[in-house]
Structure 1
Amino acid sequence: MSAAGDFELALPGENVKEFFGSSFTVMTRYAQMLADQGELRGLLGPRELPRLWPRHVLNCAAAEKFLPLGRNVTVADVGSGAGLPGIVLAIMRPDLQFYLIEPLARRSKWLEEVKNELGLENVEVLRSRSQDLPPNQKFSAVTSRAVANLKKLVRISGKLVAPGGRMLAIKGERAPLELTEAREELAAAKLESAHIEEVPSLMDDSITRIIMATKRP
């Protein structure tokens, strides 16, 4: 097992730096925190460290352009874990308010440490299961990554999406099958126009697949 601080994370190329713009410096600090502590704290496997930027940071960042625009936009990240995608998106969008929902104490503690270390004033950590939040607590967007299959995900977090808001679920190659199998759950949750957005990676030949749906007003 690697010791904390042993892994020196290589910086990505200029195209990635340009993509993140003014948020690149803070994103680099977050990535290094994951490299230093992610394995030791059970957040990432050891094989994930060399590919942290393409497989995790950029994979999450792909959802940023689908976040709602406007004032008073709130984003809930369900099952935040290591902060993927919640922390990544909060770094990129300091104009939005993010609520990181995480039931496990050790992961909630990590998220609080990241928030404080990076000075993320637009982040609030909620130690809770999404289904245990007050029924009137709604968000402009609800994000998730590697939490559950879409059928279960819609059942446990679909109610958090405000009318007219969006659900953004970062998925893998099974995204089309999951979408097909969850049609009934999506309809019951009043989530319409469900489809898959595909975003090519800036670092390799991978593609990020995001299932996006809008809550009926």
Structure 2
Amino acid sequence: MNPLAHLRPALDAGLVELGLAAPALSARLLDYLALLDRWNRAYNLTAIRDPREMVVKHLLDSLAMAPFVGDETLADLGTGPGLPGIPLALARPGLRVTLVESNGKKARFLREAVRRLGLANARVAGCRAEALDEPGAYDCLTARALGTLAELVRVGGHLLKPGGRLLAMKGLAPADEIAALPPDWHASAVHALRVPGLDAERHLVVVTRRAA
């Protein structure tokens, strides 16, 4: 039995609110969370230690992005322990996710998580985003806490296909970061997100290359 099964009602309620209610998804998310919790006790993969808090700040926060991705290729930059990449891969089986992480212990956890969860639609790239030699391979990039928008397009912009987009999770709408984007990039949309159980602002900034 999953040691975090007592968190199932809170997770299920959040998934319903996000329009992602599915018993199989809930069970697999809890399997991932239990693995993360176990590894986190030994290797300090995330500063959030309480699994109940992880449900909101890791799982549901990541899945608030789900409406903005489909059956496409996605590189999750600086994914850490797999956020938002693993929850998105679980929720969107047609999404093909590359988890980009240069930290060795986190990359080892990611490989174990992909193996244990049987995630056929996810793989791990154990390197920095700027070192990933896959130019033009991805429809979208995701990042939750890696850097400013300008930094993200600098290290990951080469990975995007023509017409591809960066999906960056932020707290307050980052007007200063948007203004500081390089001239050939712009914020094509800013979406206010509602994360179940989170009493804080969250925004998804969609950044695309300007048409020539």
What residue number does 2:61 align with?
Answer: 59
Cα deviation code 1:94-148 (max 9, x no counterpart) = 1111111111221111000000111100001111111112263420010011111
What residue number does 1:196 align with?
Answer: 190
- Cα gap change, 1:157 to 1:53, in 2 (>3 Å): same
Cα deviation code 1:167-204 (max 9, x no counterpart) = 10111236333223x23x2x33xx34433211112224
Displacement of 1:8 in angstroms is: 7.4
What residue number does 1:206 align with?
Answer: 200
CA–CA distance in structure 2, aligned partners of residues 13 and 124 of structure 1 = 25
Q: 3-state SS of the aligned residue for 1:114? A: helix
Consecutive unaligned residues in structure 1, runs of 5 or more: none
CA–CA distance in structure 2, aligned partners of residues 49 and 177 of structure 1 = 34
Consecutive unaligned residues in structure 2, runs of 5 or more: none
Q: 3-state SS of the aligned residue for 1:26? A: helix
Is the Cα–Cα contact under 8 Å of residues 139 and 165 in structure 1 kept in the other structure?
yes
Report matched runs for 1:19-30 at 5 Å.
Answer: 19-22=19-22, 23-30=25-32
Q: Runs in 1 of length 4+ with deviation above 4 angstroms? A: 5-9
Cα deviation code 1:52-109 (max 9, x no counterpart) = 1111111111111111x45xx2110111111001111111111111111111221111
CA–CA distance in structure 2, aligned partners of residues 175 and 56 of structure 1 = 21
Task: Give the letter aligned to residue 37 of structure 2.
Answer: A
CA–CA distance in structure 2, aligned partners of residues 63 and 14 of structure 1 = 17
What residue number does 1:10 align with?
Answer: 7
**CA RMSD, 1 decimal:** 2.4
What residue number does 1:165 align with?
Answer: 164
Is the Cα–Cα contact under 8 Å of residues 9 and 32 in structure 1 kept in the other structure?
no
CA–CA distance in structure 2, aligned partners of residues 195 and 52 of structure 1 = 28
TM-score (normalised: structure 1): 0.83
Is the Cα–Cα contact under 8 Å of residues 144 and 168 in structure 2 kept in the other structure?
yes
- Cα gap change, 1:50 to 1:21, in 2 (>3 Å): closer
2:76 aligned with 1:77, yes or no?
yes
Displacement of 1:39 in angstroms is: 3.9
- Cα gap change, 1:204 to 1:135, in 2 (>3 Å): closer
Displacement of 1:7 in angstroms is: 7.4
- Cα gap change, 1:172 to 1:123, in 2 (>3 Å): same
What residue number does 2:107 align with?
Answer: 108
CA–CA distance in structure 2, aligned partners of residues 125 and 110 of structure 1 = 10
CA–CA distance in structure 1, aligned partners of residues 48 and 210 of structure 2 = 42
Identity of aligned residues (%): 27
Q: 3-state SS of the aligned residue for 2:142? A: strand
What residue number does 1:97 align with?
Answer: 96
Q: 3-state SS of the aligned residue for 2:74? A: strand
CA–CA distance in structure 2, aligned partners of residues 106 and 208 of structure 1 = 28
TM-score (normalised: structure 2): 0.85
What residue number does 1:178 align with?
Answer: 177
Aligned residues: 205
What residue number does 1:132 align with?
Answer: 131
